Amino acid sequence: MPATSTGAPGPGRLPLPLVEEGRHAARICNACRYCEGLCPVFPAIERRLDFGERDLRYLANLCHDCGACLDACQYAPPHPFGVDVPRTLAALRRASYRTYAWPAAPGGLFERSGLALLLGAAAAPLLFALALGLLAGGDVFLAPHRDEQGAFYQVMPHTAMVGVFGVLTALAAAALLVGLRRCWRDFGSSAGAAPDRGALWQAARDVVTLRHLGDGDPDGRAVRRWWHHCTFYGFLLCFAATSVAAVYHNVLGWPAPYPLSSVPVLLGSIGGAGLLVGPAGLLWMKLRRPPERQDRAQLGMDLVLLALLFETSLTGLLLLAARESAAMGVLLGVHLGAVAGLFLLLPYGKFVHGLYRVCALVRCALEAK
């Protein structure tokens, strides 16, 4: 049965020419069907007769942008039908991010990659380091530190660190959760059935294996999947490192820094390596795409998140390497500033694709049954 389609407005309206472009492509794909075996986007199109804004946002967030369908498309530009599914869905995806963003005002950063990069990757680390230096005083900030426990907290008191990052984390988490909820209400729950265990299990497997990332790619560019794995699992390992360190500090009473062989340092180092290699690899692949796959509007947004992750990891590893030197204070400030910039921008950049992709995969698993 065709899935129900509604043109009912979701949280916001998409620009009309973009909706028309999406509908044009979806109708052609629905009539052609040659790409049916490439990824779940095309079977999802085939389950529909009409393509309202919700459907388009769903399809856009289901697309992993592997490009195989453009390579295979007999109607790709310069054919007069001009079908470029990856580019059209990328534009719809960006518009959907803006639509789900909360609060709306910083959502403007989705389209202003230069500004986002300036704020997150440059201003935040510099200002944070500057503020830390002023507050800690030059004697402490610029002094060499032996590998003694609690050295970090001489530069920035533990309560201040917890306070600042507690607030930042809460803000980011709140904004991400509101976005997730808006997305799910837009095209997730409209499937008409609550997600059951089977659908959730299927979606979870698709997420952890990135099954559709690179599938159907004619040149075996599934290598992109491995760069993404490095990034994704690197991020999770760094998150785990911080969580273990929090337990060490608050439950066991062991203040940082920790020895090189300790669990938080090992997790953070491996994760940090992933966050250097993964984003670098993803960016490299984006830059060497063939001309017809270059999408400048998308590249800007991708670049911001990749740069922030790379910078966070790089400064963290430098801090680890130089934590006994006089540079520790500056590096700590820059690293914490980078983390702060990353957190602040998480809800207003490419990071959200992960959450909305999960919604789309759950919906897909539900309606494919």
Report if residue 37 touches other proteins, rule: CB under 8 A: yes
> Please, what is the minimum distance in Å from the beta carbon of residue 357 to other proteins?
22
Number of H helices and number of E strands within the chain?
16, 0
The first and second tokens of residue 193, run together, are 């059935």
Q: Which stretch binds other proteins (CB under 8 A): 78-86, 165-173, 234-242, 349-357?
A: 78-86
Pick from 85, 79, 34: which is nearest to 64 by CA? Answer: 85
Of the candidate spans 6-14, 33-41, 55-63, 278-286, the one that interacts with other proteins by CB under 8 A turns out to be 33-41
Candidates 31, 105, 194, 251; binder of other proteins (CB under 8 A) is 31
Torsion angle, alpha carbons of 69, 73, 76, 79, to 10: -170
Q: Which is nearer to other proteins, 39 or 303 (CB)?
A: 39
DSSP 161-186: HHHHHHHHHHHHHHHHHHHHHHHIII
Long-range contacts of 317-322 (CB under 8 A, 24+ apart): 317/269, 317/272, 317/273, 317/276, 320/260, 320/265, 320/268, 320/269, 320/272
Verify binding: residue 34, other proteins, rule CB under 8 A: yes
Positive/negative CA dihedral, 275, 277, 280, 285: negative
Among 17, 80, 192, 291, binds other proteins (CB under 8 A): 80
CA 266, distance to chain mean position in Å, is 24
Which part of the chain contacts other proteins (CB under 8 A), choosing from 41-49, 191-199, 260-268, 277-285?
41-49
Cβ proximity of 226 and 267 under 8 Å: no
Residue 25 tokens, joined: 């492509």
Should residue 2 be labelled a site residue for other proteins when binding is judged by CB under 8 A? yes
The Cα 335–Cα 332 span in angstroms is 5
Of the candidate spans 70-78, 94-102, 108-116, 344-352, the one that interacts with other proteins by CB under 8 A turns out to be 70-78
Verify binding: residue 192, other proteins, rule CB under 8 A: no
Binding map of other proteins across residues 81-120, x = CB under 8 A, - = no contact:
x---------------------------------------
Least Å distance between CB 56 and other proteins? 16
Nearer to other proteins, 62 or 331 (CB): 62
CB of 31 to other proteins, least distance (A): 4
Shortest CB 284 distance to other proteins, Å: 21
* 82/195 Cα distance (integer angstroms): 36
Return the residues of window 234-273 that contact other proteins according to CB under 8 A.
none
Name the amino acid, one letter, at 346: L
Distance of CA 108 to the CA centre of its chain: 17
Among 12, 27, 106, 240, binds other proteins (CB under 8 A): 27
Decide: 293 and 67 in contact? Cβ < 8 Å: yes
Decide if residue 46 touches other proteins (CB under 8 A): yes
In this complex, which beta carbon is closest to other proteins, that of residue 74 or of residue 294? 74
Count residues near other proteins (CB under 8 A). 32
Say whether residue 211 binds other proteins (CB under 8 A). no
Question: Minimum Å distance from CB 70 to other proteins?
Answer: 10
Where residue 142 falls (left for φ over 0; alpha for ψ -120 to 50; beta otherwise) is alpha
End-to-end Cα distance, the chain: 11
Task: Specify the stretch interacting with other proteins by CB under 8 A; choose among 29-37, 173-181, 251-259, 268-276.
Answer: 29-37
**Site residues, other proteins (CB under 8 A):** 1-2, 27-28, 30-38, 43, 46, 49, 68-69, 71-81, 216, 218-219
